[in-house]
């Protein structure tokens, strides 16, 4: 292809993860609410707030004139990888829309100067996300999955792609912000996904990873272990008719990187200013890094 993208090995698309998310796609949102007692909404709000999008957008809109800064490109782009049914992308869209509305004399609302791109490997999750997006923003604001190559036609405010976090179908130095929420743990080789994040981010771009993590408090850890190993698979069976997928979920959290280990991985791929923040005592952690 003319962007020189790496080809996606077909065999990577199949496998356990694909099956898991296909079987849970329709009940995914309900299960999220149940399993986290609605907390995942708060976590995602916090994640999006931590991106400081209004300030970044004003900079892109040239509002930083006063401070003498001029953005390299007026087009702000956010990428949400393993975006699933759209939870994080929609929050980013809403913040962008609000900011542009509030920006007096702003020449345009979305489309450009801002757009959001969501990519996920699972077509069933994307179908749910696309339907939600179409009813929320209308067909003129949403590009559903297509085989159109990124950049070959004007982007819409929200753009859906099917693809692998390890082999992103986007040119290098494209996005200003990158999120992956409860997705990195499921990627076959998370290091490869972090490397791709670095490649597609622009200089000055920001990475945010939200993932289940490891509570450091022994008491919280114990309760959490008991809860996750007994309650979650049982809920999966009752609500989604699928105990195994939720058993897999719990086991994969236990095997996942501790906070410091993930930080090191991110630093090794070239990100700077890498740090993390525990949420709910480390049940969840948000890692961030910058491409400089």
Rounded CA-CA distance 87/29 in Å is 9
Tokens matching residue 125: 């999750």
Question: Nearest to residue 59, comparing CAs of 166, 164, 187, 202?
Answer: 202
Q: Is 242 annotated as a binding residue?
A: no
The least distance separating ligand SAM from the CB of residue 42, rounded to whole angstroms, comes to: 13
Q: How far is the CB of 184 from ligand SAM (least distance, A)?
A: 8
Nearest to 283 by CA among 241, 232, 244: 232
Q: Which is nearer to ligand SAM, 79 or 96 (CB)?
A: 79
What does residue 153 show for φ and ψ, rounded to 5 degrees? -150, 160
Buried b (16+ CB within 10 A) or exposed e, 241-267: ebeebbbbbbeebeebbebeebbebbe
User: Any binding-site annotation on 120?
Assistant: yes
CB of 283 to ligand SAM, least distance (A): 15
Residue 166 beta carbon to ligand SAM: minimum distance, rounded to whole angstroms: 6
Considering the complex, state which of residue 12 and residue 63 has its C-beta at the smaller distance from ligand SAM: 12
Residue number closest to ligand SAM, CB atom: 84
Q: Is 173 annotated as a binding residue?
A: no
Between 188 and 259, name the residue whose CB sits nearer to ligand SAM: 188
Q: Which is nearer to ligand SAM, 190 or 282 (CB)?
A: 190
- Interface positions with ligand SAM (CB under 6 A): 17, 21, 81-84, 87-88, 120-122, 125, 164-166, 181-183, 186-187
> Given the complex with ligand SAM, which of 164 and 288 has the nearer CB atom?
164
* Alpha carbons 120 and 18: distance in angstroms, whole number: 10
HSE-CB at 218 with a 13 A cutoff on CA atoms is 0
A 10 A CB-CB count for 218 gives 8
The answer to whether 124 is a known ligand-binding residue is no
The Cα 27–Cα 10 span in angstroms is: 27
- The nearest distance, CB 269 to ligand SAM, in angstroms, is 16
Residues flagged as binding site for S-adenosyl-L-methionine: 85, 120, 164-165
Residues flagged as binding site: 85, 120, 164-165
């Amino acid at each position: 292809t003319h962007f020189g993208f790496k080809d996606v090995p077909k065999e990577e698309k199949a496998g356990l993860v694909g099956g898991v998310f296909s079987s849970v796609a329709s009940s995914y949102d309900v299960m999220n609410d149940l399993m986290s007692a609605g907390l995942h909404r708060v976590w995602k709000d916090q994640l999006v707030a931590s991106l400081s999008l209004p300030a970044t957008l004003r900079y892109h809109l040239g509002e930083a004139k006063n401070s003498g800064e001029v953005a390299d490109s007026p087009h702000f782009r956010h990428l949400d990888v393993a975006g699933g049914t759209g939870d994080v992308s929609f929050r980013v869209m809403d913040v962008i829309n609000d900011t542009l509305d509030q920006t007096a004399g702003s020449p345009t609302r979305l489309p450009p100067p801002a757009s959001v791109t969501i990519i996920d490997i699972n077509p069933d999750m994307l179908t749910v996300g696309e339907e939600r997006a179409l009813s929320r923003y209308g067909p003129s604001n949403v590009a559903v999955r297509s085989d159109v190559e990124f950049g070959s036609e004007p982007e819409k405010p929200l753009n859906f792609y099917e693809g692998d976090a390890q082999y992103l179908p986007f040119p290098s130095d494209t996005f200003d912000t990158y999120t992956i929420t409860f997705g990195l743990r499921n990627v076959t080789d998370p290091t490869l996904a972090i490397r791709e994040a670095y490649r597609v981010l622009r200089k000055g771009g920001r990475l945010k990873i939200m993932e289940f993590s490891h509570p450091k408090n022994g008491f919280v850890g114990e309760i959490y272990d008991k809860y996750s190993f007994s309650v979650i698979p049982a809920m999966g069976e009752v609500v989604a008719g699928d105990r195994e997928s939720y058993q897999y979920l719990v086991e994969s959290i236990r095997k996942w990187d501790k906070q410091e280990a993930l930080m090191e991985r991110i630093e090794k791929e070239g990100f700077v200013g890498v740090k993390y923040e525990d949420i709910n005592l480390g049940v969840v952690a948000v890692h961030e890094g910058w491409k400089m």
